[in-house]
Chains A and B, each alone.
Chain A
Amino acid sequence: MTQRRFHRSLLTVASISALLLMPVAANAGMGDIISLLTTITGTLKNGVGQLLNGIQAINAGMADLQNRVVWPVNVISATRTSVTQIRAQVSSLAEQVHSIPTNSATLHASAQFESLLRGGQTANFSQIQVSYAQLYLSLPKPDQATAIQRSLGDMNDAIALGALKTATASDQASEHLLAIGDSLEQAAASAAPGSAPILIAQAQVSDLESQAMLHRILAVQLRQEAAKLAYRNALTKQSAEANKNLRNNLQQIFNRTMR
């Protein structure tokens, strides 16, 4: 009897569960569909459409700015032509001025020496030294001057000769720098706005090299000035020593006379 009741309850629960779990079809109303479509079209018109129009306007504006204001093709071409014209006019003029000879010596030895100095050939260093010695004489021999005098003379000669050699090297380097400048200008005449920064960087690198050369020349100038000052100072020291010797000699003479 109890088992029968249990089976009956089980069947009842199963039947109700089956009814409750039956899938029910979702039925959307027509109003909902119309509302959904209206939302989509509204979004397309006002959201997406307006944004795209805005982006289009910005793009068109930027393209116009680039084409007409920042990089106008006709102005780029005109600038290239201008670079070529300036190069033809001014660069050649500067080259002519730079190549005017400044040699001024009239006698044979000095003219030869001057020619070597202004030749701008580092290969002539040894000839410069020989020619310098011919023009400004060799050092006095040990029996003709004191050791200090010979040292001072040799040092002054060395500073002067070193400076002249550096000046020659500087002249030759200047010619190379001019050639570099010319190459850069030539490249600028056919450069695009996008490749110009590379050329500018190269010009700046060359400028840095040029500054380094300038520092070498300044170093030479400092050595020259220092040597001049040191030389005059050394003469003062020698003069003080000579005075001391003179005083001592006079004192000795005076002492002898007093006896």
Chain B
Amino acid sequence: MRMGEKLKELVRKASTVVGWRTVSTVAVLTACVAFVPLRARGQFGLDPCCAIISTGLNTISGLLKNVVAKPLASIQQIQQQTANFEQQVIYPVSAITSAQALAGQLHTQLSKLSQFYRLPTHSATLPAPQRLEQVLLSHDPQRLDQVSQNYSLVYGNVIPPADAPDGLRNMVDMSDAEAQAALKKAVELDALADIEIAAADQINQQLQTAAPGIAPILQAQTAAWLVRANAYTQSATAELIRIRSIDLANTVAQLKLSAGDTNALWNGANQSLQRSSH
């Protein structure tokens, strides 16, 4: 069957189903769709739109080359130079490694240094002085309460009330108190020195692997410890000042007591002479 005959047969069948008017409407609509104009596609740059786009893209390309790429290249060059400068002049790996290695060497030397002060310096020979000396050189603040007891065994107790005037007893008690306080402060100082050495040791260990950027943090930590150390020094110096002041005050008090005794003697002698003359 030919194509035309087939189409006629199809139209006839459709018209029997939906009617001639509907078939004709569909036919008109199909023809409209078929004849809608499609967009024309230009070839070989003949389309005027393509010329404008081409010019625009060329302009953009030129701008990217001159306005963007050149400054970027310059920035890259500067940053490369800066990186080289930092690697070769500011942070050369060899200098950093060398400084870290020195920290290791110093660690050994500092360990020797603290060992010197750990050598025993005990020298007492009698039992009571030996016991006091052991407490005094213990570096142990937990044993501070043993100072007073052992101190009394060597230097004696406070004078009984019947044996001396109150003024003298007070002076003696004050002197004992200051001497014991100084001895206790000495034990504290030894213990603090141990702690400082331990802190220095730990910081030094960190320095052996420290990066230059980390070093200032360790510097700050060490500086903080130095501030503490200075505070302990001040505290110990204050104790020294106190003990020397008490010593000086004792000397002056002896003079005053002597003057009082001389005056009493003088009065007594006068009274005796007056009685004799009567």
A229 touching B179 by the CB < 8 A rule?
yes
CB contact between B113 and one of A173, A211, A236 (< 8 Å): that residue: A173
Q: Among residues 176 to 224 in chain A, which have CB atoms less than 8 Å away from a CB atom of chain B?
A: 176-177, 179-180, 183-184, 187, 190-195, 197-202, 204-209, 211-216, 218-223
B190 touching A199 by the CB < 8 A rule?
no
Return B24 CB to nearest CB of chain A, in Å: 12
Docked Cα-Cα span, A56 to B81, in Å, equals 13
Return A13 CB to nearest CB of chain B, in Å: 11
- Asked whether any CB of chain A lies closer than 8 Å to the CB of B193, the reply is yes
- Asked whether any CB of chain A lies closer than 8 Å to the CB of B89, the reply is yes
Residues of B within 8 A of A105 (CB): none
- Asked whether any CB of chain B lies closer than 8 Å to the CB of A111, the reply is no
A212 touching B154 by the CB < 8 A rule?
no
Docked Cα-Cα span, A56 to B229, in Å, equals 49
- Asked whether any CB of chain B lies closer than 8 Å to the CB of A27, the reply is yes
- Tier of interface size on chain B: 35 or more
B172 touching A233 by the CB < 8 A rule?
yes
Docked Cα-Cα span, A209 to B108, in Å, equals 13
8 smallest beta-carbon distances between A and B, as pairs: A37-B56, A194-B91, A49-B67, A197-B215, A211-B229, A158-B124, A161-B123, A226-B182
A240 touching B116 by the CB < 8 A rule?
no
B90 touching A151 by the CB < 8 A rule?
no
Docked Cα-Cα span, A201 to B96, in Å, equals 13
Return A48 CB to nearest CB of chain B, in Å: 6
- Asked whether any CB of chain A lies closer than 8 Å to the CB of B166, the reply is no
Return B164 CB to nearest CB of chain A, in Å: 4
Return A248 CB to nearest CB of chain B, in Å: 10
Q: A208-B226, A212-B193 known; 9 other A-B pairs, CB under 8 Å? A: A11-B22, A60-B74, A169-B117, A176-B113, A180-B109, A195-B98, A218-B189, A218-B237, A230-B155
Residues of A within 8 A of B144 (CB): none
Docked Cα-Cα span, A162 to B137, in Å, equals 9
Nearest residue in A to B86 (C-beta to C-beta)? A194
CB contact between B121 and one of A125, A177, A193, A200 (< 8 Å): that residue: A125
Task: Mark interface residues in A148-181 (1 if CB within 8 Å of B CB, else 0).
Answer: 1011101101100110011001101100110110
B96 touching A195 by the CB < 8 A rule?
yes
B52 touching A216 by the CB < 8 A rule?
no
Mostly helix, strand, loop or mixed at chain B's interface? helix
Q: Among residues 51 to 100 in chain B, which have CB atoms less than 8 Å away from a CB atom of chain A?
A: 52-53, 56-57, 59-60, 63-64, 67-68, 71-72, 74-75, 78-79, 81-82, 85-86, 89-92, 95-96, 98-100
Residues of A within 8 A of B81 (CB): 63
CB contact between A4 and one of B18, B67, B72, B190 (< 8 Å): that residue: B18
Task: Mark interface residues in B125-138 (1 if CB within 8 Å of A CB, else 0).
Answer: 11011001100110
Residues of A within 8 A of B96 (CB): 192, 194-195, 198
Task: Mark interface residues in A25-40 (1 if CB within 8 Å of B CB, else 0).
Answer: 1010010011011001
Task: Mark interface residues in A98-130 (1 if CB within 8 Å of B CB, else 0).
Answer: 000000000000000000000000100100010
Interface residue ranges, B against A (CB under 8 Å):
17-19, 22, 25-26, 29-30, 32-33, 36, 38-39, 48-49, 52-53, 56-57, 59-60, 63-64, 67-68, 71-72, 74-75, 78-79, 81-82, 85-86, 89-92, 95-96, 98-100, 102-103, 105-106, 109-110, 112-114, 116-117, 119, 121-126, 128-129, 132-133, 136-137, 151, 153-157, 159, 162-164, 168, 171-172, 175-176, 178-180, 182-183, 185-187, 189-190, 192-194, 196-197, 199-200, 203-204, 207, 210, 212, 215-216, 218-219, 222-223, 225-226, 229-230, 232-233, 236-237, 239-240, 243-244, 246-247, 250
B212 touching A195 by the CB < 8 A rule?
yes
- Asked whether any CB of chain B lies closer than 8 Å to the CB of A66, the reply is yes
Docked Cα-Cα span, A45 to B221, in Å, equals 51
A215 touching B172 by the CB < 8 A rule?
no
Interface residue ranges, A against B (CB under 8 Å):
4, 7-8, 11-12, 15-16, 18-19, 22, 25, 27, 30, 33-34, 36-37, 40-41, 44-45, 48-49, 52-53, 55-56, 59-60, 62-63, 66-67, 71, 73, 76, 122, 125, 129, 139, 148, 150-152, 154-155, 157-158, 161-162, 165-166, 169-170, 172-173, 176-177, 179-180, 183-184, 187, 190-195, 197-202, 204-209, 211-216, 218-223, 225-234, 236-238, 240-241, 243-244
Nearest residue in A to B250 (C-beta to C-beta)? A232
Q: A162-B133, A192-B92, A216-B189 known; A204 and B126 CB under 8 Å?
A: no
